[in-house]
Every structure is written in structure tokens, then in C-alpha cells.
Homo-oligomer: A and B are copies of this chain.
Amino acid sequence: MERRKFLKDTLKVGLGLTAGLAAGGISFASTKSAPPLPWPYVKLDPKKIADYAYSEFYRHECCNAVFSSIIRELARKVGEPYTNLPLTMMWYGGGGIAGWGTICGTLNGAALIFNLTCKDFKPMIDVLFDWYQKTALPTYLPCEGPYCKKPFPKSVSHSPLCHVSVQRWCKVASVYFGRPILYNSKERSERCARLAATVAAKAVELLNAYHFEGFKPHKVKGAQKTKMDCRMCHEVVMKEIS
């Protein structure tokens, strides 16, 4: 089928080129465009996606780990249009966007996947973000690496922000390891690698449910998600500053 599709596309491109060259290339360059969203989704294996996201974290950080682990698999199973997306385009999201500590990169990467594959992507984002801020994470267990056989500390972030999420984990981990665990420590990197794997798997579970099990995502109300009531993040501050 791919072969037939390719030959069909080849013919189109061939004709396009002829027309394009005749017109000096201008018409051809301006006509082709991406198919409208949402793009087709096929059922994926959360465990397989998580394993790849874990390894991808150590190459292109948290956001790209979640994004590319899912897109790479959709490109393999569906082909175009997913093959047209560059697999390192979400590298910028690492560390809350280039280390700015804003949105957790794993959530930014997953949110883009929902936008690409779900008509009703906003409630999907609500469900994932709400789960993220209320769940003790990371839960993913790697098959290899220095920490794979040992238990590993988890924390509840109470926020979708990288800064708050990392800071809360570092506090728990410092008690767990009996020494200060800093932002630039190996343990923190391992935590974020496991978090990327955990969130990638959760995103795939939600996508499988949405597309194949009739799952209806629920909206999270304004005050709960926009933190316009200030407390959820800000009680952390009060403790730190007082």
C-alpha cells in the first residue's frame, strides 16, 4: 500500500515539477501543504514508547523524549504525514524550555501530540496535567543503568511547572538519599528521564483510550488549572522565604 501511495505521490510530484518548472517553480512551491488536523492515530504500546523516551531523554532532554518517542512510532506505523515532522523539533522544551523552569517539558511534548492527533485536545491536556500534578512520580522502572535495581524516590508536584516539580522531588530525594540532591545532580537527571518515560506512557494510554475505547476526557475548571487562586504554587514559596 505504501509502495502504491509512493508511486502515486511520485506521479503527483512529477507533474507538479513539470508545471512548477514551466511556471518557474513558483506555483509548485506555493501549492503543497500539510493535511488538516487531527492526523490519524493508531494504537501504540505504552511500554515500548516509555523505553524509547527514557533513552531519548539522555540525547535531547525531556520534552523531545516524549514527543519523538510517540511521533517516531507513528511515522513507522502510519508513515506520512508524521514522517514530515523533524524528530528533534521539541528539543527546546527541555528544563521547562531551554532551562527556564516553566512548563515541564514532558507535558509540553505530550500536549503537542494531543493537538496533532485529537479533535478535542484541550480536555486531553487537562486530564494529563491534572494527573501529573496529583500523582507520585516517576513510576517508570528502567531495565538498565545505575539505579535500575534499586527503589527510587517519588514526589507529588502539585503543579505542571518544571521549577516546582523538580524542587519538590529534590526535597524528597535529599531525605531519601541522606544528602542534598541538587538540580544538576545525576539523580535529578535520572528522575527526569524516568518522568519522561512515565509521562510518554501515560499520554499513549490516554490516546489509546480516546481513539479506541470511547474515553471522554473531562475539563478541569479555571481556578484549579490556571492557579489564579495562587495557593498551589505559592505555599511552596511561603515555606522557602519564611
> Which residues of A pack against B, CB within 8 Å?
2-3, 6-7, 10, 13-14, 17, 20-21, 24-26, 28-30, 32-37, 39, 75-76, 78-81, 83-93, 95-103, 107-108, 111-112, 114-116, 121-122, 125-126, 129, 160-163, 167, 183, 222, 225-228, 230, 233-234, 237-238, 240-241
Contacts and interface: CB of A to CB of B under 8 A. Distances in A.
Residue among A10, A29, A107 with the highest chain B CB neighbour number at 10 A: A29
A16 B118 CA distance: 30
A-side binding surface: helix, strand, loop or mixed? helix
A19 to B, nearest CB: 11
Oligomeric state, in copies: 2
Contacts of A88: 36-37, 115
B13 A26 contact: no
Given A3-B24, A80-B32, A108 B97 contact: yes
Nearest to A20: B10
A99 B84 CA distance: 29
9 contacts: A3-B24, A34-B83, A39-B86, A92-B122, A98-B129, A99-B226, A100-B103, A163-B226, A183-B222
Contacts of A83: 32-34
B37 A101 contact: no
B100 A163 contact: no
Contact of A37 (B6, B89, B95, B227): B89
Residue among A88, A98, A101 with the highest chain B CB neighbour number at 10 A: A98
A97 B125 contact: yes
A108 B13 CA distance: 34
